[in-house]
Amino acid sequence: MPIAQAAPQNKRPISAKIVLVANVVTLVLSFVVIGEGIWIRERHHYDCSINLQWLVLSIGIVMLAVSFLGWFAAKRQSIGLFWLYIVLLSIIILLLIVVTILAFLLEIHGFSTFLHMPPTFLRPDDCNQELLFKFNRDWSTIATTSLIVLVILLVLFSLACSSFMHSVNRHVFGT
């Protein structure tokens, strides 16, 4: 009677799988941020908000690229790529913190009074009062969405970092 063979084991460690899942969620979050930037652009296609639109869109596009980098780093189990991923994700988190704070301040204090920003950034000269009122109201949505994305991203970041450190300690990732 033949001996039953054991089922082939998956060679990818659980910590690498956690990093892969975290990157899939980060990918989805990047689409949320890109969608938010497109929403701003479609809703406010005026010159006074163009720089803010591109800031949000840029963060979403960079998040998309970084999520692919993290997925590739976990798939290849490369320490160097994963360190690059951690640094870039840290920068994205800092940018999202800035956007979230900016959004809440614009919502609370209004468009024209915020920290005496230079007109070249917000361009209030190109906006009428009705547009500014609508823009301030929409920043409530942007602030809330950015805060939710930021909290989820922070949880995923800490989960991915702890999984990576566990992998490094157990010599799962190569060089």
Examine residue 99 and state whether it is found in any structural domain, yes or no: yes
Examine residue 87 and state whether it is found in any structural domain, yes or no: yes
**For the chain, percent of residues with pLDDT exceeding 70:** 62
pLDDT digits (tens, 9 = 90+) for 54-94: 878 888 899 899 989 888 888 887 888 888 988 888 888 88
Long-range CB contacts (within 8 A, 24+) of 119-125: 121/51, 122/48, 122/49, 122/51, 122/52, 123/47, 123/48, 123/49, 123/50, 123/51, 124/48, 125/48
Average of per-residue pLDDT across 88-109? 80
Average of per-residue pLDDT across 159-168? 75
Judged against a pLDDT cut of 80, whether residue 165 lies above it is answered with no
Examine residue 74 and state whether it is found in any structural domain, yes or no: yes
How high is the pLDDT of residue 81?
86
Q: Domain total for the chain?
A: 1
How high is the pLDDT of residue 65?
93
Examine residue 7 and state whether it is found in any structural domain, yes or no: no
Confidence of residue 170 (pLDDT cuts 50, 70, 90): low
Indicate the SS3 state at residue 78. Answer: strand
Answer whether 146's CB lies under 8 Å from 103's CB: yes
Average of per-residue pLDDT across 113-136? 52
Q: In angstroms, rounded to a whole number, what is the distance separating the alpha carbons of residues 85 and 20?
A: 12
Examine residue 121 and state whether it is found in any structural domain, yes or no: yes
Instruction: Identify the domain containing residue 70 by its residue range.
Output: 14-169
Examine residue 174 and state whether it is found in any structural domain, yes or no: no
pLDDT digits (tens, 9 = 90+) for 130-140: 555 666 666 77
